[in-house]
Structure 1
Amino acid sequence: MNEQINAKVSWTEANEARSADWHSEGGTPPPKRIVVADDTISADAAYRLACEGTALLWRGDFQNARQLLQAMARRIDRKPPAKKKEGEVTPLSEVFNKHRLAQSQRARTLGMLLLPFEADFTVPLRRAPDVRQACLEAYGKVEAPFLASLRELLGLIGAHEWHRKGVEIAALGERIHPHYGVFAPTRAEYIKLVAEAPLPSKELAFDIGTGTGVLAAVLAKRGVAQVVATDMDPRALTCANENFKRLRVNRQANAIHADLFPDGRAPLIVCNPPWVPARPSSPLEHAVYDPDSRMLRGFLNGLAAHLTPRGEGWLILSDLAEHLGLRSREELMSMVEGAGLRVIDRIDTKPTHAKAADSSDPLHTARAAEVTSLWRLGAIAS
């Protein structure tokens, strides 16, 4: 989902009023106040201005700007946590909400360090790298010079490297190449579930909300004759179809634009919806956060009508939301039953990502207990 904001920003430089376009792929509104800064500004002064809502347009050395951003981040991260009363236990749902708020405030503060860009995506600063390709992949062509945050540019560069190098997928024995704005499939456990669960049919499968196309590709590699993958995001559709071609499964798999289900019925329908019912704060977070479990509910409520007789719907879902107190198992089962579905089987696995073992993570208790499941669902016979 693209939430790009294009607007105008103004500032005063060398006693002259200036303006430029504002770009934000993350949907951040333009700053109301901008001052010019260079290598002479201290990290404390820059941090104070950013906290006050004043953006800094950088005119110094590019590498010094990166170092300044790191210094500002250290000042945010060293803030002591709020003191708790003795014996007080904070509910994990509250810990989660405070963590999300802190993340949002951190992003807003660090996003106040701005860079100038020419219309060809050249950054006119000393020691600036060539970021033209990374910017083109994210922004597309632009008509005029603009300003954007250094933090966003670093994200663009990181996404470009993910796209260039790809993500090794053990279940495929090959790499998936995510595009900018399309969530990278870095958690191997849910892919392994789809690679190993017993197939009800090899005739046809739907992959709902395909993203990079990784699950559709796994099904095609397992011998499913036709896989119809769907997504609402044009970037995801382009990404998935390019991956299908690169993996040589494009004769079997195709990604099309659809709101959840394509037309028709299938003996296998797979969906890996966002796992946490919360509001995303950036386009990329739509792959993780699903307000009020909208996509999960949409998939469950439409599943029975799109399954063939004795067909199966595979719901890939983590129980992290349950451990965070954001959705209970009873609520999930009520959604399943209310959609006219029954549970055929459930295959569980433990996450292997680094955060599950990071005791310094504020959400460590929930992450350590997390289980990812493939729910095999069938329609209740009428």
Structure 2
Amino acid sequence: MLPIEKKYVQWHENENGKDTLRHARWLSASDYTPPTRVVLVDDKTSADEAYRLACAGTSMLYRGDFYNGRQLLQAITRRIERTNERSKLRKMKKVVKQPAKSKSIEKSQETSNLFHQQRQLQAQRARILSRLLLELDTGYVSKLRRAPDVSAACIAAFGQLEKGVDESCLLSFRDLQGALGAAQWREKGVAIESLGLSIFPHYGVFAPTRHEYVQLLIDAPLPDACNIAYDIGTGTGLLAIILAQRGVKQVVATDLNPRALDCARENFARLQLSSIQLQQANLFPTDAPLANLIVCNPPWLPAKPSSPLEYAVYDANSTMLRGFLQGAKQYLSDQGEVWLILSDLAEHLQLRSREELLGWFADSGLKVKYRLDTQPKHGRSQDENDSLYAARSAEITSLWCLVSSSYEP
């Protein structure tokens, strides 16, 4: 749960005509360090002034109307976007073609650079937006005018505060919005049309809003006598649910994240699936029989996560993917199969090559039995204004069926 250790913020505030040193517990979903410069702002603070302060590294503790504070955050966001757009135009004007380079090399470098530039802009944007703060009293209660009840959403996101401890906490407006949004997802769920059910994600567990791969798992033929399957890195439990509904008698679902285990457990209980066992593990389960089938949907992009909430999307140096491949064979029965769900977006972004991926298969003692493909239809793959449109529009999501190199049908 967040945070792991107690951290505090200090600031000065005028109370009854006296300058008072205040302090509060610091909460940050992105694990940012507590701010050292904090000023008070309210409804009278202009968006330009708030943006200037945030860009200068000053955090702003908001005292005013809750909904006005939310509008101020939106206004800061618009100013960031305008600044980034002007920056892009300036860079485009400075681009000089290098005649010594081939067009293909130039294009691949341009794509990779665009991705890293976009990541830097996203990180900078998140840092600036995180500087608009609000204070919550004991029990996650806000004293801002027209503030909604946020206690349940905060407890789900940041954990129950210690009983009997009377202390307030500071967090960013942006983190509070994330907690409120996660609470809505948890309540209404994510509809998985091809299964005719909904999955209910928890805060900090990747929501399967992109689920084009579900049909691949439905269409892939199960191995003969498939009685035992593993779902590695189960998250919400979606892949384990598909296997159980397809008739696999015993499914072992693992994850290292306690939030994911709680989330998957709740989803299994909703569907009354008693054949799925949950285990907290770094990749593979312990004391489990060899599997006829091992499925895994790892993070798709080999880049460093900028916060704990990005672990399901970004896998620095493909550490999880390579660890999974290297260990899979020893947990697999003789005629067993590995189903790896993976997008090739990393290849289009020049972050990983197809040859590199195939090399990892071979080095792990695995070979490709077959592959099923589907093309994503999410909004960003259709957005021609996206700077990475060329890569996103070419993306293919695949189910790689891998077997031991010694496998014979």
- Shorter-chain TM range is over 0.9
Deviation at 1:91, TM superposition (A): 1.5
Is the CA contact (8 Å cut-off) linking 1:4 and 1:24 kept in structure 2? Answer: no
Please state whether the residue corresponding to 1:93 is helix, strand or coil. Answer: helix
- Unpaired runs of at least 5, structure 1: none
Q: Which residue of 2 aligns with 1:215?
A: 239
Counterpart in the other structure of 1:324 = 349
The 5-angstrom pairing of residues 6-45 of structure 1 reads 6-14=6-14, 15-45=19-49
Cα 1:59/1:107, change in 2 over 3 Å: same
The Cα of 1:3 is off from its aligned counterpart by 6.5
Q: Any residues of structure 2 matched to 1:217-236 within 5 Å, and which? A: 217-236=241-260
- CA RMSD in angstroms comes to 1.4
Partner of 1:177: 200
Residues 342-365 of structure 1 deviation map (CA, whole Å, 9 limit, x = unaligned): 100010000011110011222111
Partner of residue 176, structure 2: 153
Paired residues, number: 381
Asked if structure 1 preserves the Cα contact closer than 8 Å seen for 2:137 and 2:168, the reply is yes
Write the mapping of 1:69-218 to structure 2, written as runs, cut at 5 A: 69-79=73-83, 80=86, 81=88, 82-84=90-92, 85=94, 88=97, 91-142=110-161, 143=165, 144-200=167-223, 201-218=225-242
1:370 pairs with 2:387: no
8 Å contact kept, 2:231–2:251: yes
Output the amino acid matched with 1:284.
L
- Per-residue deviation, 1:171: 3.1
Which string of whole-angstrom CA distances, capped at 9 and with x for unpartnered residues, describes residues 194-225 of structure 1? 12211114311100000000000011111111
Determine whether 1:243 maps to 2:254: no
Q: Is the 8 A contact 1:5 1:23 kept in 2?
A: no
Q: For residue 83 of structure 1, what is the amino acid of its counterpart? A: K
Question: Are positions 1:379 and 2:377 aligned together?
Answer: no
Aligned to 2:101: none
Change in Cα spacing, 1:180 to 1:376, as seen in structure 2 (3 Å) is same
Q: Deviations over 1:289-345 (max 9, x none)?
A: 000001100110011111101100000000000000000000000000000001000
Aligned partners of 2:300, 2:4: CA distance in 1, in Å?
Answer: 24
**Maintained 8 Å contact 2:9/2:35:** yes
Q: Is the 8 A contact 1:5 1:25 kept in 2?
A: no
Which of 310, 322, 343 aligns to 2:368? It is 343
Conservation of the 8 A alpha-carbon contact between 2:3 and 2:158 = no
Q: Distance in 2 between matches of 1:292 and 1:22?
A: 31
Say which SS state the counterpart of residue 141 (structure 2) adopts.
Answer: coil
C-alpha change, 1:146 and 1:26, in structure 2 (3 Å) is same
Point out the more displaced range, 370-379 or 255-264. 255-264
What is the TM-score when the length of structure 2 is the normalising length?
0.91
Alpha-carbon distance in 2 for matches of 1:133, 1:94: 41
Q: Which moved more, 1:229-238 or 1:90-99?
A: 90-99
> Does the CA contact (< 8 Å) of 1:316 and 1:372 recur in 2?
yes
SS of 2:181's partner is helix
Structure 1 CA distance, aligned partners of 2:157 and 2:172?
14
Q: State the Cα deviation string for residues 45-96 of structure 1 (Å, max 9, x = none).
A: 0000000010000111111000000000000001211332466466211101
**Residues 3, 283 of structure 1: 8 Å contact kept:** no
Which of 1 and 2 has greater Rg? 2
Aligned-partner residue type, residue 135 of structure 1 = C
| Secondary structure, aligned partner of 1:46 | helix
Matched, 1:296 2:321: yes
* Percent of paired sites with the same residue: 54
- Summarize the alignment of residues 38-57 of structure 1 with structure 2, pairs less than 5 Å apart: 38-57=42-61
Aligned-pair distance for 1:253?
A: 1.0
The answer (yes or no) to whether the contact 2:2–2:157 under 8 Å persists in 1 is no
Secondary structure (helix, strand or coil) at the match of 1:333 reads: helix
SS of 1:287 mapped into structure 2? coil
CA-CA distance at 1:6 after TM superposition: 3.6
Give the ranges of 4+ consecutive aligned residues of structure 1 lying more than 6 Å apart after TM superposition. Answer: none
Q: Distance in 1 between matches of 2:168 and 2:316?
A: 36
